């Protein structure tokens, strides 16, 4: 639901049904809402059948990349004699995104249930939930829920009496956006600096501690129990008739210049225009929407026309010049200077670069300097070409995509909102040239 607002009639609440309801936080409360029924059912199934069911549901990764979850799980080979690991990515730090936070705050057992089913399906006896260090309340609630689940024998050496060991531990991050990148997260878990690793080898072959590993986002794992309970066909229904590639419901965190910021859950293919104006209430009084980032700050900025024509799913946003990403919707109104906004985004990436790759280390820093210079009214028109050239050198050339992510708002900003940049540049103080006598 539109937490912290009342649910809107056009939402479809599967994951967010209990947001804001304190009863859902505890094990007793969660059981009243049907909690751990899915885990019980899953433990009666074979791991292979669970993987097939998740494949059939069409569930795709909700962290940003949209990789099919069932296929990711199928890369793991239970019974190969190696220890397997599941990592739940709860490092949510993509600017604009705050959905996993609410899942962990209000329904920690939903996440634990998803983690337990995922662990069983991929043959992992150990699952780590990597939660960013700044999430003090989600950390407390997930830890408390894990203690309850352990005490009740739901997880542990003999999960729900199944004879299977499913141990789940919280690993607390310590402040690093890059640790949300899956290979950086594995390094961080191992007690290293959070530098991303070169792929291949992919995590399913050699992941954390050199063993087969699967990494799934919080929202992805929380979607697993409802799919087990209600079936793949039920989940597939949440899609548009002409696009079977995106299924299910999706949580969107909405922030920026919007009347009702918060979390909303809608089925795949929902019209973005209705979403922005009806569900979220549109721009603040007297303002107009100007630019929209639909999937966290790493995806291309949309013009208002692109946003209003978008259907909210993986393919729908791509068709309108952007990406679904993490579902972090950032709304910018016509009172904002987009150059300042982009300068601050660039500064974010410069701060968060792990500095392994030259293109990223240098590129994020120089991009920041130049965009800030333009924002301060000291830029030149040539700076725009310089920025695009730097961006080109930052894209597709590094170990991970942080570098690309920094280039994205700059390139889409210059291409789609060039007038904002030119207006900032024209403000530059011109030194009068003395007339030649």
Partner 1 sequence: MNAQTSSVGHPTSGHEPVFVGDRRNELDDILTRYPTKMAALLPALWIVQDSRGWVSEAGMAEVAEALELTPAYVKGVVTFYTMYHQHPVGRHFIQVCTTSPCQICGAEEVRDAFLRHTSCEELGVTSEDGKFTVIEVECLGACGFATPVMINEQFIESVTPAKVPEILRGLK
Binding footprint of partner 1 on the chain (CB under 8 A): 4, 83, 92-98, 101, 126, 132-137, 167, 169, 171-177, 188-194, 209, 253-257, 261-263, 297, 328, 330, 332, 336, 340-342, 344-345, 348, 351-352, 354
How far, in Å, are 10, 68, 71 from residue 51 at the CA level? 31, 11, 8
Length of the chain: 437
Instruction: Kindly state the smallest distance separating residue 315's Cβ from partner 1, in Å.
Output: 25
Comparing CB distances to partner 1, the nearer of 247 and 253 is 253
DSSP-assigned states of every residue in 227-252: HHHH-HHHHHTSS-TT-TTS-SEEEE
**Cα(35)–Cα(51) distance, rounded to whole angstroms?**
21
Please identify, using beta-carbon distances, which residue of 326 and 395 lies nearer to partner 1.
326
Question: What is the closest distance, in whole angstroms, from the C-beta atom of residue 115 to partner 1 in the complex?
Answer: 14
Shorter beta-carbon distance to partner 1: residue 189 or 311: 189
For residue 200, the minimal CB distance to partner 1 (Å) is: 22
Examine residue 4 and say whether the peptide bond preceding it is cis (omega within 30 degrees of 0). Answer: yes
**Least CB distance to partner 1 at residue 341 (A):** 5
- Helix axis angle for 338-352 and 418-426, nearest 10°, is 100
Q: For partner 1, which is the closer residue by CB, 60 or 132?
A: 132
Q: What minimum distance in Å lies between the beta carbon of 293 and partner 1?
A: 9
In sequence order, what DSSP letters do the residues of 77-117 get, joined into one string?
Answer: -TTSSS-EEEEEEE---STT--HHHHHHHH-HHHHHHHHHH
C-alpha count within 13 angstroms, C-beta hemisphere, residue 217: 30
Q: Report, in Å, the least distance between residue 267 CB and partner 1.
A: 21
d(CA 37, CA 26): 15
When the beta carbons of 43 and 346 are compared against partner 1, the nearer one is 346
Bridging pattern class, strands 213-217 and 84-90: parallel
**How many Å apart are CA 60 and CA 67, to the nearest integer?**
5
Tell me which residue of 323, 312, 287 sits closest to 405, measured CA to CA. 323
| Between 45 and 255, CB nearer to partner 1 | 255
| Closer Cβ to partner 1, 174 or 381, answer by number | 174
Q: Which is nearer to partner 1, 47 or 194 (CB)?
A: 194
**Nearest approach, Cβ of residue 6 and partner 1 (Å):** 15
Q: Give CA–CA dist 374/370, Å, rounded.
A: 6
Cα distances from 3 to residues 118, 141, 253, in angstroms, run 27, 18, 9
**Are the CB atoms for 378 and 428 separated by under 8 Å?**
yes
User: Which DSSP state fits 279?
Assistant: I
CB of 231 to partner 1, least distance (A): 32
Minimum CB separation of residue 191 from partner 1 in Å reads: 3
Of the pair 103, 228, the CB lying nearest partner 1 is at 103
Neighbour count for residue 419 (Cβ, 10 Å): 9
Comparison of 53 and 332: residue with beta carbon closer to partner 1 = 332
Contacting residues for 192 by C-beta, under 8 A, at least 6 apart: none
Minimum Å distance from CB 98 to partner 1?
5
Is the separation of the CB atoms in 375 and 366 below 8 Å? Answer: no
């Amino acid at each position: 639901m539109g937490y912290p607002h009342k649910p809107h009639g056009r939402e479809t609440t599967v994951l967010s049904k209990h947001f804001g309801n304190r009863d859902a936080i505890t094990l007793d409360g969660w059981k009243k809402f049907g909690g751990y029924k899915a885990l019980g059912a899953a433990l009666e199934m074979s791991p292979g059948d669970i993987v097939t069911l998740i494949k059939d549901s069409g569930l795709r990764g909700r962290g940003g990349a949209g990789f099919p979850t069932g296929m990711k799980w199928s890369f793991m080979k239970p019974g190969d004699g190696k220890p397997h690991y599941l990592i739940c990515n709860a490092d949510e730090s993509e600017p604009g995104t705050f959905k996993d936070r609410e899942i962990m705050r209000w329904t920690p057992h939903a996440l634990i249930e998803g983690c337990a089913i995922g662990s069983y399906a991929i043959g992992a006896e150990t699952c780590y939930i990597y939660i960013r260090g700044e999430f003090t309340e989600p950390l407390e609630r997930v830890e408390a829920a894990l203690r309850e689940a352990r005490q009740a024998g739901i997880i542990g050496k003999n999960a729900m009496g199944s004879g299977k060991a499913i141990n789940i531990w919280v690993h607390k991050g310590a402040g690093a956006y890059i640790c949300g990148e899956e290979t950086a997260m594995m390094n961080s878990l191992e007690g290293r600096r959070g530098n991303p690793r070169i792929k291949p080898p992919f995590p399913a072959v050699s992941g954390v501690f050199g063993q087969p590993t699967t990494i799934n986002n919080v929202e992805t794992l929380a979607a697993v129990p409802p799919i087990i309970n209600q079936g793949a066909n039920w989940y597939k229904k949440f899609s548009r008739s002409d696009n079977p590639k995106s299924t299910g419901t999706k949580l969107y965190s909405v922030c920026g210049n919007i009347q009702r910021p918060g979390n909303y859950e809608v089925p795949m293919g929902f019209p973005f225009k209705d979403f922005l104006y009806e569900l979220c209430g549109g721009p603040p009084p007297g303002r107009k929407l100007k630019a929209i980032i639909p999937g966290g700050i790493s995806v291309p900025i949309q013009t208002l026309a692109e946003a209003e024509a978008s259907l909210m799913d993986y393919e729908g946003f791509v068709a309108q010049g952007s990406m679904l990403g993490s579902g972090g919707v950032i709304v910018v109104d016509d009172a904002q200077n987009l150059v300042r906004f982009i300068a601050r985004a660039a500064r974010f990436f410069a701060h968060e670069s792990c500095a392994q790759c030259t293109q990223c280390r240098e590129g994020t820093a120089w991009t920041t300097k130049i965009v800030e210079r333009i924002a301060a009214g000291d830029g030149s028109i040539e700076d725009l070409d310089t920025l695009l050239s730097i961006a080109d050198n930052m894209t597709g050339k590094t170990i991970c995509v942080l570098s690309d992510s920094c280039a994205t708002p700059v390139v889409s900003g210059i291409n789609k909102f060039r007038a904002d940049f030119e207006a900032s540049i024209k403000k530059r103080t011109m030194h009068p040239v003395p007339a030649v006598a």
